[in-house]
Amino acid sequence: AKLHGCPVDKDELGRSTWNLLHTMSVYYPEKPTDEDKDRARSFMSILGKTYPCDFCAKDLRKDLKESPPKVESREAFALWMCQLHNKVNEKTGKPKFECRDVMQRWRDGWKDGSCDY
Ligand code: FAD
């Protein structure tokens, strides 16, 4: 599979977007203000209307309706994002990610140091 397509395909777009979404979620404030919460909710809602893969965006809108973003805390938002990604993984036949590991994968680095090279 080509890694850096030009223009980007659905998979590369997906990886780039998950990089942004998970990183955003694990750096979300631990004690968000009402404004922080509104922004996080709006971001996801607008993503559902602008994500440039039509069938992905359509499913995202449905997922957001069924399970609105949990924006009460960093932990809640990071876990919610992980669960959203797992819904997509399920649909596309990819393995389910252990959401308890989300901070290691996206914020602190794996305990075995495997991000350090
Ligand atoms: P990706 O799924 O892109 O994951 C990248 C990395 O994230 C993984 O290597 C893993 O380390 C980590 N990861 C995996 N799961 C989780 C999780 N649950 N929580 C935290 N980290 C995790 N593709 C389609 O074919 N159909 C769709 O309907 C579709 N909808 C999408 C909707 C959205 C909002 C986004 C952002 C992407 C969507 N995609 C869709 C793209 C798809 O999710 C993948 O990004 C793409 O198939 C490339 O997959 P990948 O195997 O490289 O890993």
pLDDT tens for 59-115 read 999 999 999 999 999 999 999 999 999 999 999 999 999 999 999 999 999 999 888
DSSP-assigned letter for residue 104: I
Q: Look at residue 116 and tell me whether its pLDDT is greater than 90.
A: no
Q: Look at residue 24 and tell me whether its pLDDT is greater than 90.
A: yes
Taken in order of first residue, the domains within the chain and their CATH numbers are: 24-108 (1.20.120.310)
pLDDT in tens, 44-54: 999 999 999 99
Structure confidence at residue 28 (pLDDT): 98
- At 8, the pLDDT band (50, 70, 90 cuts) reads very high
Of ligand 1's listed atoms, the one at least distance from the Cα of 86 is 18
Q: Measuring from each residue's beta carbon to the nearest atom of ligand 1, which residues come in under 6 Å?
A: 10-11, 14-15, 17-18, 22, 51, 55-56, 59-60, 82, 85-86, 88-89, 91-92, 94, 97, 102, 105
Structure confidence at residue 115 (pLDDT): 83
Alpha helices in 27-107 (DSSP H): 34-50, 54-66, 74-92, 102-103
- Both tokens of 110, joined, read 């794996």
- Both tokens of 108, joined, read 């602190």
Question: Residue 21 is which amino acid?
Answer: L
Q: How many CB atoms lie within 10 A of CB 103?
A: 17
